[in-house]
A and B are shown apart, each in its own frame.
Chain A
Amino acid sequence: MRNKDFMFWLFLAPVLFALGTVVLLPLIYGIVYSFTDWDGVNAAEFIGVKNYVELFSDQGFLNSLWFTFKFSIASVIVINIMGLGLAMLVTSYIKSKNVLRTIFFMPNLIGGLILGFIWQFIFTKVFDAVGRATGIEWLQGWLSDSQTGFWGMVILMSWQMAGYIMIIYIAYLENVPKDLLEAAQIDGANGWQRFRNITFPLVMPAFTVSLFLTLSNAFKIYDQNLSLTNGGPFDSTKMVAMDIVQTAFQLNQMAEAQAKAVIFFIIVAIISLTQVYINKKKEVEM
């Protein structure tokens, strides 16, 4: 197959051009600016790695980084369990499965900002009313402390992403050969054994995709964070993306924000690449 001739590059050119101008170029610019003292308006001066050194004593940044880690781990677990659970449900023999698929996928179609406001209402109003009516204490006062702020974010994120991840799992679940399952059943394997030894290894590639997607999405989350908690109370639910935006546009420390963004980029890249690498090795080929 000829794939490096003129036509190849011609058809690739628009994509390369777009990628270059909106991804690569800004990335390079960003890295360059992170070594300066640019404030967003006045000309920048080169100051070396000072921004990076200062980051490690910036408690606000470290806190938000730690919070983002915790949040990502919790939401990756919850989303994948929910996604796989929903997928198993709608690929089983229940009736309304097509309707259910649509319904489960729907939250994903709503924008993050709006979702944030909807859930804010649910947490602060509905939860509160139910809590008051039934006397259940832990349902009251949501989002007013860092614990409920954290779980509020996880619930919102899981609710939004689970449907999307479900679709990925469905695709793989439907490709699991029925004869294998049937053979196992005849051999006397129970439900859990069939899931553990046949279904699970065969949907492993779906984990690669799903874990990668959820992890990087959970890491980069911004609008849900903004509308649900806005980092509050006392910045305890402020995620890295929000910290970067605030450093850049509230504190006018554009270059420092760039340095944070570069670190952020490296972390996300490392996590994602390792994960892809590990999962690829584990995949089972039919």
Chain B
Amino acid sequence: MLTKKAFVLSSALFLGLAGCSTAEKKEESSGSSGGGGGDQTVVDIFQFKVEFKNQFEELAKQYEEEHPEVDINVQTVGGGNDYASALKSKFASGDEPAIFNINGAVDVQQYRDRLIDVSDTKAAGAALEGTLESVTEGEQVLGLPYNQEGYGFVYNKQIFEEAGVDADSIKSMEDLTKAVETLDGKKDELGIDAVFAFAGKEKWTEGNHGSNSFIADDFNGSVMEAFQAKELPFTKAEQYKEYIDLQNKYSVQPVLSLDYSQQVEELFSTGRVAMIKQGNWVYPTIEQMDPELAENVGIFPIPVDGETKMPVGVPQYWAVNKNADEEAQKAAKEFLDWLYTSDEGKEAVLTQFKFIPAYEGYDADKIADPLSKTIYEYAEAGNTQGWVFLGYPVGWSDILGAHLQKYLAGETSWEEAIEAAKNDWKKARQ
């Protein structure tokens, strides 16, 4: 009996305490957003890039020291879907951030009512040509690019050298096939399991990146054209097949259960395969796994039509929230300007964040890793191809990925898979 009483009492106490503490918390937070704590302007940033969370917070602190009138709160929620759903619940709950991330045309459409024009910022003026395309609406610029990324075949220079293959000479699919056959013939001497590690389990790597190389020309490399297209011509489907078949044939098997981490960490970083189709984002992982091997990686673009253009694009943009109060909007813009156009900001973008800058006026020599450097060189030379996959219908890249998996599993023919993917595109754009 006594214990029962004690239990009831203690739980009542606990409930009471919990009630108090939530009430207090509420007051506190409403106080600060109402301009409490001096005359500070609070800028809430809600961003998705987990990889540079710490460095970014450091930089925000540095900014606060220089600008004591601004209080920056950085909140990071990781990658892809989690970010989108977390952002939605933030908006739904009324706790809206001043700065958030959008991925281009598709998000612009969805969040249109919440975006303000940032064309008056210095950063917008300094953005490299083409990087603003998917967030431009008439005269208005609705987002500022994070960085640039590029992808292609990431290869192990040492293995290529030992096999006597020159990556720079690969200019067409025939060259690539020949190089792959050479590598495959010397598999035992080179000590590799296979030439490729083809991550067939990941729908995004082909659904987004691989397909982009063969679809970009249908839309003249323009995201917006892809975004508005009612139908997908897919004129290079046959070339795409060659490319998929080549990777599949010379990959570690079974490809359909091979995922991104196996591909990058287990197989490529340990030197068990000669190349993988990925982008500069794999570099930090390789460096962590094996710093020596990391110095010896290179990248070359997927050859299409006998040409090798590097697919370079902007994965995410910063957007400023219309619902934030005006002071916060102004402070947000100033912060973004500082981030990409001040000397401190530039330094951090290159050396701390290890970004490939999407803005002019950066010292390319400071780009640390070889993959990013190669990609930036292609970008500077203008030898690039647009990222049209950001203009695919919502969810279509996963649909394409699923159709390709079906083809790889031998459950459907190539023609059927492509036809089904085209139909799904049409349906999504009705």
Contact = CB atoms under 8 A, between A and B. Distances in A.
A144 B255 contact: yes
A235 B114 CA distance: 34
Interface string B389-410: 0000011001000110110110
B113 interface: yes
A14 B81 contact: no
B201 A233 contact: yes
A45 B257 CA distance: 42
Contact of B111 (A41, A123, A248): A41
B176 interface: no
Q: Which among A124, A233, A246, A252 has the greatest number of chain B C-beta atoms within 10 A?
A: A233
Contacts of B256: 143-145, 232-233
A249 B84 contact: yes
Nearest to B262: A124
A233 B201 CA distance: 7
Nearest to A43: B113
B405 A39 contact: no
A234 interface: yes
A284 interface: no
A232 B258 CA distance: 11
Interface residues of A: mostly helix, strand, loop or mixed?
loop
A92 interface: no
A234 B394 contact: no
B113 A249 contact: no
B18 to A, nearest CB: 11
A124 B88 CA distance: 36
B110 A252 contact: yes
Contacts of A111: none
Interface string B404-430: 011011010000000000000000000
A71 interface: no
B257 A142 contact: yes
A266 B84 CA distance: 28
Q: Which among A124, A141, A230, A234 has the greatest number of chain B C-beta atoms within 10 A?
A: A234
Interface in A10-43: 14, 39-42
A250 interface: yes
A251 interface: yes
Interface string A200-243: 00000000000000000000000000000010111100000000
B257 A248 contact: no
Contact of B402 (A42, A142, A234): A234
Contacts of B254: 140-141, 144
Given A41-B88, A250-B395, A252-B394, A141 B253 contact: yes
Contacts of A14: 15
A14 B14 CA distance: 12
A170 B113 CA distance: 59
B81 A234 contact: no
Nearest to B15: A14
Interface string B66-96: 0000000000000001001100100110000
Q: Which among B91, B114, B254 has the greatest number of chain A C-beta atoms within 10 A?
A: B254
A107 to B, nearest CB: 22
A232 B203 contact: yes
Q: Which among A124, A144, A145 has the greatest number of chain B C-beta atoms within 10 A?
A: A144
17 contacts: A40-B85, A140-B254, A142-B257, A143-B257, A144-B256, A144-B257, A145-B256, A233-B201, A233-B256, A233-B409, A234-B403, A234-B405, A234-B409, A249-B81, A250-B395, A251-B394, A254-B88
Given A41-B88, A248-B85, 19 more contacts: A41-B91, A123-B257, A141-B257, A142-B257, A143-B256, A144-B200, A230-B201, A232-B201, A232-B256, A233-B200, A233-B256, A233-B257, A233-B406, A234-B409, A249-B84, A249-B85, A250-B81, A252-B110, A254-B88
Closest 10 CB pairs of A and B: A144-B254, A144-B256, A234-B405, A144-B257, A234-B406, A251-B395, A141-B254, A143-B257, A233-B256, A40-B88
Interface of B: 15, 81, 84-85, 88, 91-92, 110-111, 113-114, 200-201, 203, 253-257, 394-395, 398, 402-403, 405-406, 408-409, 411
